[in-house]
Structure 1
Amino acid sequence: MRNLFITTTLDDYLKSKNAFAIVDQIIELQKNPEVINEDFQVWKITKIDEITFSMELQDGNLNVIIIHYFQSTSIKIFELTVWFENSTLYFPNER
């Protein structure tokens, strides 16, 4: 992956929720051929329990590409949807 840009609004939100581990996960998952081949990515992040989160990647047509799980004790969100295209990560309402 060359560069990842984050909109100011999303950046501020992630900072306020101590949630940059989500960005780290998205960057790491770009190494997966199934992920990197998706030009438009919808990431749905959901807190499952005290420390476990799921990340579901959809292609924009509600087709699930992968589901990834990770753990974090510091993230202060329960649910988040972000879009990724043209090397930019942003909230859906920022398009």
Structure 2
Amino acid sequence: MNCARGALLDYDAVCDALDSGRLAGAGFDVYPQEPVPADSRLLSTPGIVMTPHIAGASQEVAHKAARIVAAEVGRYLRGEPLAHCANPEVTVDRTR
């Protein structure tokens, strides 16, 4: 089962293991390329269950994300550093 990052797994090795019977099944929610190409072995190898990159989609996750966004907006409006900003260099200096 991989629902973390597509690059973490050797998908060809998993397909080989499924084809040889060394592995009974596999489940994926992330892929080396999205969307998955029509000629991908993932679509033709028996024993693979695939979901469309939704493993984290739940009401709990949505509520947590809403709380984080609300807290970040509050920090921004108060002129505080943002806790979850991937590129803080683009934020406006609100101290002027």
TM-score, normalised via structure 1 length: 0.24
Q: Which of 1 and 2 has higher RCO (CA within 8 Å, sep 6+)? A: 1
Larger radius of gyration: 2
